[in-house]
Amino acid sequence: MKILVTGGLGFIGSHTVVELAKANFEIVIVDNLYNSKEDVLEKLEKITGKKFKLYKYDLCNKEKIEEIFKENQIDAVIHFAGYKAVGESVREPLMYYSNNLISTLNLLEVMKKYNVKKFVFSSSATVYGEPKTPKCTENMNRGETTNPYGTTKAMIEKILEDLYASDNSWNITLLRYFNPVGAHESGLIGEEPNGIPNNLMPYIMKVASGKLEKLNIFGNDYPTIDGTGVRDYIHVVDLAKGHVKAIQNAPDGLNIYNLGSGKGISVLELVTTFEKVNNVKVNYQIVDRRPGDIAENYADPSEALKELGWKTEKSIEDICRDAWNYENAEG
């Protein structure tokens, strides 16, 4: 089976290429290198001992997508490509709507033309908005998204539902990721945010390595275990394996799965675990809440276990160790 992985040189896409290769899928990658580097390809080849075909094309160019489908007998598409920075999406909404929606529509139109109807989409827990209960199950309504990035995810989910309603020979899997963190244990691939990170784990690493002075913890007065925000952190390798299971085991139709551990961890718990596992200090101060943040959310991952046979295997300690290992390997 030949799989087109869009955004396959990015953080989650690259780890998924490794797991797909391990499971003996044939892989074609398309990535315009907007948020990734070409040398990731060599690293993927080093980890897997396999070679991959890379198209350095922008998915907003439909003719280029057609070229890929003409040259390769694609059986399924895993669609990671897109812009993902929440803050930037608030400042540059048109850029986000344009890239995330046009690339997806182009891809789906070309898939339709070439009769390729198996599609796995990178969605996000952000589509739950402000959930009524911290534990999110897939049958909860999509909530009010709080930024253009999140809205592109909710819109694409809706587009895919409409597409499936029009033609139920499509097989569509929406994977709602919780908080992907960590890195491959080889230290060769991981997350490389540009500039000052927005997300907690990359920020912790910059502080631990002395590149930033201290972590600002956004609020300690939430109704949580220690007052700091609670999230469901998932090791990127576990997340990558979820995609392999989705390709292998998703039933017919349109299906939605949460990919998370099912366990909430507070900011302070994550900081403390990071310090302990890696024997480093993470300086921090408590500051005001970050606008738009919710107190607590975590996945109910039971559907993914029941239908895909997937659950997380790595611990929060594995996450902290592998993330730090990658940070140090990168120098």
* Distance of closest approach, residue 207 Cβ to ligand UDP, in angstroms: 9
Distance CA 126, CA 17 (A): 24
Distance between start and end Cα atoms, the chain: 38
Give the one entry of ligand UDP, ligand NAD, none that residue 58 binds, where binding means its C-beta sits below a cut-off of 5 to 8 angstroms depending on kind. Answer: ligand NAD
* C-beta of 170 vs 177, nearer to ligand NAD: 177
Distance CA 173, CA 164 (A): 11
CB 171, CB 115: distance < 8 Å: no
Q: Which of 128, 149, 177, 326 is catalytic?
A: 149
Distance CA 320, CA 190 (A): 12
* Distance of closest approach, residue 33 Cβ to ligand NAD, in angstroms: 5
Give the one entry of ligand UDP, ligand NAD, none that residue 175 binds, where binding means its C-beta sits below a cut-off of 5 to 8 angstroms depending on kind. Answer: none
Q: Can you tell me whether residue 235 is helix, strand or coil? A: strand
* C-beta of 164 vs 326, nearer to ligand UDP: 326
Instruction: Tell me the two tokens of residue 199.
Output: 């997300």
Instruction: Tell me the two tokens of residue 251.
Output: 């039933």
Regarding 200 and contact with ligand UDP (CB under 6 A), the answer is yes
Binding interface with ligand NAD (CB under 6 A):
7, 9-13, 30-36, 58-60, 80-82, 84, 99, 103, 122, 124, 177, 180
Q: Which residues contact 287 (CB under 8 A, 6 or more apart)?
A: 216, 217, 218, 219
Question: Which residues in 204-263 contact ligand UDP (CB under 6 A)?
Answer: 215-218, 229, 231
Q: Nearest 10 degrees: CA dihedral of 160, 165, 167, 168? A: 90
Regarding 268 and contact with ligand UDP (CB under 6 A), the answer is no
Give the one entry of ligand NAD, ligand UDP, none that residue 217 binds, where binding means its C-beta sits below a cut-off of 5 to 8 angstroms depending on kind. Answer: ligand UDP
Regarding 179 and contact with ligand UDP (CB under 6 A), the answer is yes
Q: Which residues contact 228 (CB under 8 A, 6 or more apart)?
A: 217, 219, 220, 222, 266, 267, 268
Give the one entry of ligand UDP, ligand NAD, none that residue 312 binds, where binding means its C-beta sits below a cut-off of 5 to 8 angstroms depending on kind. Answer: none
* Distance of closest approach, residue 37 Cβ to ligand NAD, in angstroms: 9
To the query of whether residue 149 is one of the catalytic residues in this protein, the response is yes
Distance CA 229, CA 220 (A): 8
Regarding 199 and contact with ligand UDP (CB under 6 A), the answer is yes
Q: Which residues are catalytic?
A: 149
